[in-house]
Amino acid sequence: ETGVTQTPRHLVMGMTNKKSLKCEQHLGHNAMYWYKQSAKKPLELMFVYNFKEQTENNSVPSRFSPECPNSSHLFLHLHTLQPEDSALYLCASSQDPGLAGETDTQYFGPGTRLTVL
Amino acid sequence: GQNIDQPTEMTATEGAIVQINCTYQTSGFNGLFWYQQHAGEAPTFLSYNVLDGLEEKGRFSSFLSRSKGYSYLLLKELQMKDSASYLCAVREDDKIIFGKGTRLHILP
């Protein structure tokens, strides 16, 4: 158990559906992240939130919309996705964002396996 | 820009030693992480290096040479449970960039 939980673990949705992924961290960290992991590709950073403020948006299409109501919760709202968006979506948190050192270590949740039909 | 290279796959025998290499080219290096990821699971933190040299943690050790843009993860006394992907990640300025990972197969 890493202290970072994600729900749902698996999600199948059509291209016209709207769904949300949820992440919660119980580690008292200040930064939270969304990553996309596709087969045979490196982890792709999507969004970063530091102290509830979005500090990074890595050219992610607008059909992905993040929300961070507090430093413990992070959502990823999905709408009108494409089949190529099928992937494992990982949430992570770290203690001290932007501060070099081992405190920048990211702790990952188990991920949501998303399939878009 | 950034470029992180590591072998795609490696195979080793139970009880043996294996070294997984990672080379990187970044504009503002600020530390290197190694993560382990079992199939279908989340990555878990293994080690962090920011200064040159070897960091040892039990059966796992990680080495860094900043001048060469090179790191390796050394796994000793391999066990079947070590079968996993090993991700090299470099901190460039305020971003962490991941390599594609090395899938390690352990043979009995």
The rounded average pLDDT for each run of 10 residues, N- to C-terminus, in chain B (108 residues) is: 86 97 90 93 92 94 96 98 96 84 96
Q: What is the pLDDT of residue B93?
A: 75
Closest by alpha carbon to A24, among A51, A2, A50?
Answer: A2
Contact A89, A9 (CB under 8 A): no
Question: CA of B99, closest CA in chain A: separation in Å?
Answer: 5
Compute the distance between CA of residue A93 and CA of residue B84 in angstroms, rounded to an integer: 22
- pLDDT for B30 equals 86
Q: Does B68 touch chain A (CB under 8 A)?
A: no
Q: Given this model, what pLDDT does residue B2 score? A: 62
Min Cα distance A33 → chain B (Å) is 11
Q: Is the dihedral of CA A35, A106, A112, A32 positive or negative?
A: negative
B chain contacts of residue A108, beta-carbon cutoff 8 Å = 42-44
Q: State residue B1's pLDDT score.
A: 46
Q: Is the pLDDT of residue A1 over 70?
A: no
Instruction: Give me the mean pLDDT over the A99-115 stretch.
Output: 82
Six token digits for residue A109: 């949740």
Question: Which has more pLDDT, A105 or A114?
Answer: A114
pLDDT greater than 70 at residue A43:
yes
What are the chain A neighbours of B91 within 8 Å (beta carbons)? 100, 104
Give the mean model confidence (pLDDT) for residues A49-58.
78
pLDDT-derived band of residue A102, with 50, 70 and 90 as boundaries? low
Length of chain B measured in residues: 108
CB B42 to CB A56 under 8 A?
Answer: no
Confidence band of A97 (pLDDT split at 50, 70, 90): low
Average pLDDT over residues A29-55: 87
Asked if the bond preceding A69 is cis, omega within 30° of 0, the reply is no
Does B96 contact A2 at a Cβ distance shorter than 8 Å? no
Neighbouring-strand partners of residue B35:
B45, B87
Flag whether residue B87 sits within 8 Å of chain A, measured between CB atoms.
yes
CA distance B23 to A109: 27
For A70-88, what is the mean pLDDT?
94
Partner-chain contact B31 A43, CB within 8 Å: no
Instruction: Give CB contacts under 8 A, 24+ apart, made by B105-108.
Output: B105/B9, B105/B10, B105/B11, B105/B12, B106/B11, B106/B12, B106/B13, B106/B14, B106/B78, B106/B79, B106/B80, B106/B82, B107/B11, B107/B12, B107/B13, B107/B14, B108/B13, B108/B14, B108/B80
pLDDT at B15: 97
Give pLDDT, residue B92. Answer: 83
Tell whether the model's pLDDT for residue A101 goes beyond 70: no
Give the 3-state secondary structure of residue A104: helix
Q: Do A100 and B30 touch (CB under 8 A)?
A: yes
pLDDT score for A100: 56
Distance from CA of B16 to the nearest CA of A (A): 27
**For chain B, what is the largest distance between any 2 Cα atoms, rounded to a whole number of angstroms?**
42
Percent of chain A at pLDDT exceeding 70: 92
On chain B, the residues whose CB falls within 8 A of the CB of A40 are 100
pLDDT at A86 over 60: yes
Give the gap in angstroms from C-alpha B1 to the nearest C-alpha of chain A.
14
